[in-house]
Amino acid sequence: MASGFFALLDDIASLMDDVGAMSKIAGKKTAGILGDDLAVNAEKASGFVSSREIPVLWAISKGSLINKVIILPFAFLLSAFLPVAVTIILVLGGLYLAYEGVEKIYEYLVPHEESKVTLAEIKLSKAEILELEKEKIKSAIVTDFILSVEIVIIALGTVVNEPIWTQILVVSIIALVATVGVYGIVAMIVRMDDLGLKFIQLNGNKSSVTYAIGKFLVAALPVVIKSLSVIGTIALVLVAGGIFVHNLEFLHDWLHGIPAILGEFIAGLVIGFLCLLVVLAFKRIWKAFKPEVKESHSTK
């Protein structure tokens, strides 16, 4: 009886050793996309009124956790019984990411009036601001879902030949880190100015170290947010390009002689531009068709 108990403990210890070792490998494999995830989500979590930053970030974090709960069981089932579906899902997600990244570039080059201001600058009623927040939160959660699929699939690929329990534990750990770690860092970034203000208020002496640190944090936040906006856009295109290059063999062959990161960026940019053209064409057709529908109703 005692020997059986100790054998069970030994098996558990061995399993945890395997999980720890494989988690390190999976962490290295997903480090790049986790960095992209951080940049993208920090950019999406910015632009709100200071008092609304943490509630909005918490709403996105909860959505991210729900995404992982949905993705994990489906990923294990599809990987086991229908692996081709994983590739199809990844490519469809890549199309969305490429489109979103190129759309940001398009909006920068051809700016729209509404894109020139943030929620913090718009003079709206509380109900209207909350509605706009919901739209941004929904967009952030959709993007998080696609990035989460990529993170889970990459992590799963590193342990695909391991026992099922090792797969479940390793991928679940990476998924948890992807949520808690990424959004924890994002929370620190968006609250840099408040932390800086507290440092400034600690000591009225302008020559003190705390005052200098506080001034630096307050001044650095706009630069960090603008930088993350650019990095987040590039990250979207790179992640999408990586999905295409690694899952579409003809693209991999075409871009074989080009450095990997450049090839992925080109693939994401070109395919994203094509997606943007399709969406813009659809919007024009829809706008042209919509008045005719209204007129046909009015004549009845």
Mind spelling out the 3-state secondary structure of 174-190? HHHHHHHHHHHHHHHHH
- Structural domain includes residue 42: yes
User: Which domain, by its residues, includes 239?
Assistant: 18-191+230-298
Return the pLDDT at 279: 92
Let me know if residue 289 belongs to a domain: yes
Name which residue leads in pLDDT, 215 or 129: 215
Entry pTM: 0.65
Q: What pLDDT, on the 0 to 100 scale, is given for residue 276? A: 93
Query: Residue range 21-30: average pLDDT?
Result: 54
For 62-68, what is the mean pLDDT? 88
Residue 260 has pLDDT above 80, yes or no: yes
If one compares 19 and 160, the residue with the highest pLDDT of the two is 160
The residue with greater pLDDT, 276 or 143, is 276
Higher pLDDT pick, 182 / 17: 182
Question: Would residue 207 count as lying in a domain?
Answer: no
pLDDT in tens, 147-164: 788 778 777 766 766 777
The angle formed by the CA atoms of residues 47, 52 and 58, to the nearest 5 degrees, is 100
- 153 falls within a domain: yes
Q: Which of 199, 271, 280, 274 is nearest to 242 (CA)?
A: 271
Residue 229 above 60 pLDDT?
yes
Q: State residue 266's pLDDT score.
A: 92
- Is the pLDDT at 145 greater than 80? The verdict is yes
Asked if the structure places residue 236 within a domain, the reply is yes
In a domain, 224, yes or no: no
* Residues 60, 44 contacting (CB under 8 angstroms): yes
Burial class (CB in 10 A: 0-12, 13-18, 19+), 187: middle
Within-domain flag for 138: yes
Domain-located, residue 9: no
Number of domains in the chain: 1
- Assess whether pLDDT exceeds 60 at residue 122: no
Q: What is the pLDDT of residue 251?
A: 82
